[in-house]
């Protein structure tokens, strides 16, 4: 193996991951506990670190290292974990290099700002607050798809980012099949007597609900020595490596069942993150 190229790549990659780590932590802070007046500065720093990762991910020296490490002969000398890393990073580079840097920075800042406004809109049940930000997000998504996959259907491009190979055509086929099954199932459900859920829909001490949710996380195997639980407007999970996994939850004053279900859901994400081999 050409140790020089490989060692250079690892050092470069570690630096890039450090910037990414900082960005993720700022985003987690914005979602969970950042004061309202701190948001502007936090978003500026979040945009800086995310953009720094983008710049490093599209730099000529980085592209040259990826090209060498993905070349026949050298690629085979890497272990499975590093083969996965250089292969995926090459895919990311091929995608990022088509996006103008100024546009990328704008989308990062726009989305972070939209996230903060969305929290307020949800708390106050005021969609008009979020509407212009949502419009901007849709426009940004379409423009990004036009850069990365010109001439292709924008929604197909967006779907493939999270589920490679998936298309609108496949999704339509699945939903059409589900709809046909529901036509016979739904009337049977609606004709049944509704279950008594009064045990769960009433006022509970929020501290008791939080304790119950923590118990449920521990029960399914979530390791609190390698994770934590916070409160947010909408539950999410952030993974900073298998030894630092953050789950979150939202609590209501008139129900216990919703936060119990949501923490089990987020706990599933948490267990996945805590189970990932550190090599990857």
The pLDDT tens digits of the residues spanning 39-77 come to: 999 999 999 999 999 999 999 999 999 999 999 989 999
Residue 131, pLDDT score: 98
CA neighbor of 258 nearest in space, from 209, 194, 205 = 209
| Residue 229 backbone phi and psi in degrees, to 5 | -130, 130
Mean pLDDT of 83-95: 93
Is the pLDDT reported for residue 94 higher than 90?
yes
Q: Tokens standing for 113?
A: 């700002």
Is the pLDDT reported for residue 271 higher than 90?
yes
Max Cα-Cα span within the chain: 70
Q: How far apart are CA 149 and CA 99, in angstroms?
A: 10
Q: How far apart are CA 25 and CA 18, in angstroms?
A: 11
Q: How far apart are CA 20 and CA 58, in angstroms?
A: 14
Is the pLDDT reported for residue 1 higher than 60?
no
CA separation, residue 78 to residues 4, 57, 68 (Å):
13, 20, 12
């Amino acid at each position: 193996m050409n140790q020089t190229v490989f060692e250079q790549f690892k050092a470069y990659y570690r630096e890039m991951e450090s910037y990414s780590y900082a960005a993720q932590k700022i985003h987690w802070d914005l979602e969970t506990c950042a004061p309202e007046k701190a948001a502007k500065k936090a978003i500026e720093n979040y945009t800086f670190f995310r953009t720094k990762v983008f710049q490093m991910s599209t730099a000529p020296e980085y592209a040259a290292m990826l090209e060498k490490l993905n070349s026949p002969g050298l690629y085979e000398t890497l272990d499975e974990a590093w083969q996965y890393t250089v292969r995926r990073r090459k895919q990311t580079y091929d995608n990022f290099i088509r996006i103008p840097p100024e546009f990328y920075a704008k989308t990062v800042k726009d989305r972070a700002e939209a996230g903060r406004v969305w929290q307020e809109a949800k708390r106050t049940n005021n969609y008009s607050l979020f509407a212009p930000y949502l419009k901007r997000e849709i426009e940004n998504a379409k423009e990004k798809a036009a850069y990365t996959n010109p001439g292709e259907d924008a929604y197909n491009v967006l779907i493939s980012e999270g589920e490679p190979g998936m298309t609108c055509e496949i999704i339509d086929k699945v939903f059409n099949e589900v709809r046909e099954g529901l036509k016979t199932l739904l009337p049977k459900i609606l004709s049944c007597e509704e279950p008594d859920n009064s045990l769960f829909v009433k006022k509970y001490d929020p501290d008791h609900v939080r304790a119950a949710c923590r118990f449920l996380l521990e029960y399914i195997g979530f390791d609190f020595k390698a994770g934590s639980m916070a409160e947010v407007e909408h539950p999410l999970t952030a993974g900073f490596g298998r030894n630092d996994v953050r789950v979150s939850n939202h609590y209501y004053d008139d129900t216990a069942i919703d936060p119990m279900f949501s923490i089990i859901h987020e706990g599933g994400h948490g267990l996945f993150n805590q189970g990932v081999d550190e090599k990857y």
